[in-house]
Amino acid sequence: MDKELLDALNIQLNREFHSAYFYLAMAAYFERENLKGFAKWMRAQAKEEADHAMKFFDFINERNETVVLKPIEVPKQTWSSPLEVFKDAYEHEQKVSHYIHRLYELAQEKRDYPTQVFLHWFITEQVEEEDQTLQIVELLEKAGDNFAAILELDEQLGSRE
Ligand code: FEO
């Protein structure tokens, strides 16, 4: 595989683990705030991100290339409100989509067709990730300072498997 593309895949593997860390920090914040439903949602999200990282891990191995594990960036760990947390999550997902798209363009430039096909899953997934975080931002904006509405949302998000 082209060296530049392999490096970019390894960087994205690392970014997905950073995403897992980021959501885990958010889960810890919600645990501290006693918002157990939000915490559960974030914990499930962190697990999904680790799965995303492992998809890159498996793909690189399947291509008989070398996985390179680098240090994981320390995430932000404090927020002032649930709304601020989800705004960060949405912004983060937009950034991830951007990275996935750049990676896809690089795979096209290098004419690496298997990588292009591999990335299709992530392109679709990012649409969902952005959509669901934005939906929660909008619901939290509507809830405002109404704690009963926030608790209702907490219960709703807690039903995530
Ligand atoms: Fe791995 Fe939330 O994107």
Tens of pLDDT, residue by residue over 102-126, are: 999 999 999 999 999 999 999 999 9
- CATH for the stretch 3-157: 1.20.1260.10
Q: Give ligand 1 pocket residues (Cβ under 6 A).
A: 16, 19, 49, 52, 93, 96, 129
CA-based R_g, the chain, Å: 17
79: closest CA among 25, 146, 144?
A: 25
Q: Enumerate the domain spans of the chain.
A: 3-157
Predicted local distance difference test score (pLDDT) of residue 161: 77
The minimum-distance atom of ligand 1 relative to the CA of 92 is: 2
pLDDT tens, residue by residue, 58-102: 999 999 999 999 999 999 999 999 999 999 999 999 999 999 999
Assess whether pLDDT exceeds 80 at residue 21.
yes
This prediction's pTM: 0.95
Closest residue by Cα to atom 1, ligand 1, is: 49
Q: Output the pLDDT for position 160.
A: 77
